[in-house]
Amino acid sequence: MELTLVVAATRNMGIGARGTLPWTGLKREMAYFARVTKRLPPQILEVRPEARNAVIMGRKTWDSIPPKFRPLKGRLNIVISRSYPTPTRDAQDTPNPDVDPVQVSSLRQAISYLLSKPEGSVGKVFVIGGAQIYEAALQLPEAKRLLITRIHSDFECDTFFPLVVQNGQDCAPGWSMKPKAELDDWVGETVPHGIQEENHTQYEFQMWERSSD
């Protein structure tokens, strides 16, 4: 199982301020996130069209999603909190993914839950925040990929992504940015090229992968 971390981050890897996103009004960026995290790999879609991708998040990230938008539709939502019992659901007792998230007490427990599912019932697995969950994911060998929306405009942040990936400088050892063609191929669509702008905020879509060495 591979983990793909999805994050929007400023040039200095800021991802949040006072418990929310520092920027607003990036509707096209949010639509990109929704499409990418919903889209099944073609090999699974052909055989198991009822399968779903999984999105793993911490409780604070879950709470930050407006109630009318959660759980994130068309995806298996898994929420992590140390306060949850172990486990809150038997691995065979699948909740209604359109109503209930799966609740687990650790990232490793989330992975174990997904591995217990019938083969082919889960597509891609995304980690979508917050900072502590990202940090835990980066410690695992399953973390293979970063989908980053690089925010080029300046915002004041008090929460940061725990890995610094910047073009040509201070790059995290073992990680490299992939060409746009590889990004397009992996997400399954032609991603807008270069710097985009919405609501006076500039950003760019990138994909980074961990070396297999």
Task: Give mean pLDDT, residues 115-135.
Answer: 95
**Which residues, 6+ apart, have CB-to-CB distance to 97 below 8 Å?**
52, 71, 75, 76, 77
Looking at the predicted structure, is the pLDDT value of residue 168 above 90? no
206 and 177 Cβ atoms separated by less than 8 Å: yes
27-57 per-position pLDDT tens digit: 999 999 999 999 999 999 999 999 999 999 9
Looking at the predicted structure, is the pLDDT value of residue 101 above 90? yes
CA separation for the pair 6, 148 (Å, rounded): 6
Please, what is the average pLDDT of the chain?
90
Domain encompassing residue 169: 3-210
24-29: long-range contacts, CB 8 A cutoff, minimum separation 24: 24/199, 25/198, 25/199, 25/201, 26/149, 26/198, 26/199, 26/201, 26/203, 27/198, 28/192, 28/196, 28/198, 29/149, 29/196, 29/198, 29/203
Q: For residue 51, what pLDDT is reported?
A: 94
What pTM did the predictor assign?
Answer: 0.92
How many other β-carbons are positioned within 10 Å of the β-carbon of residue 48?
Answer: 16
Q: Residue 69 is part of a domain; what is its CATH number?
A: 3.40.430.10
- Name the residues annotated as catalytic: 21, 29
- pLDDT band, very low/low/confident/very high, at 91 (cuts 50, 70, 90): very low
Using CA of residue 38, residue 131, residue 8, residue 176, what is the dihedral sign?
Answer: negative
CA separation for the pair 67, 93 (Å, rounded): 24
108-122 per-position pLDDT tens digit: 999 999 999 998 999
121 and 51 Cβ atoms separated by less than 8 Å: yes
* Phi and psi angles of residue 140, each rounded to the nearest 5 degrees, phi first: -95, 145
Domain count, the chain: 1
Q: For residue 157, what pLDDT is reported?
A: 95
